Amino acid sequence: MLRKAELLTDHNEPVSAVTYNNLACYYRRVNKLRTALNYLKKAQQIEMRNEGSAANPAGTSLNLCAVLSQLESRHEEALLHARSAVYLIKEELRSVRSWLTWEEPDEKGQKSEQSPEVMNKMAVLAISYHNIGVEEEFLKQFDESIQAYKKGLHV
């Protein structure tokens, strides 16, 4: 199905990037990490060309982080992608007003729920900080790792 999607989305770059990302997730799951990495690089190139209309550049960075982390001795590169994911998702969240300040409690003292879009982005941010912590731990940067884990927990 993903191969068919790849053929059908050939003329729509933002949709192709999503398809490449999904193909990469498949190849990562079947432990074909180099193939996954190639698809993620394709997705990232498209997202860079289509800045603003790309569906999930932070997710692509997180997937790059995960694949690179699984490849031997690629933890520094994986860390860069995890940090990139934090930057990208924060930029997305800044475009959503409710990120800037948490909503005030209502008259019953309870906060109203954030939109599902904001909650999903917050989850990606927490995962990004977690991945930074993991990569810094691999690189024996333990103080930085602890700080990243704390930031993820806070989010």
Mean pLDDT by 10-residue block, N- to C-terminus, for the chain (155 residues)? 80 86 95 96 91 82 96 91 95 70 49 74 95 97 97 95
pLDDT for res 2: 80
d(CA 111, CA 84): 30
d(CA 32, CA 28): 6
pLDDT for res 77: 96
pLDDT for res 150: 97
pLDDT for res 104: 43
Residues 117 and 125 sit within 8 Å (Cβ to Cβ): no
pLDDT for res 126: 96
Longest dimension (CA), the chain: 54
Q: Where are the domains of the chain?
A: 1-55, 75-99+115-155
pLDDT for res 113: 57
Cα distances (angstroms) measured from residue 127 to each of 3, 35, 97, 132, 133: 28, 23, 21, 9, 10
Quote the pTM value.
Answer: 0.82
pLDDT for res 97: 57
Residues 131 and 66 sit within 8 Å (Cβ to Cβ): yes
Partners of 105 in the beta sheet? 111
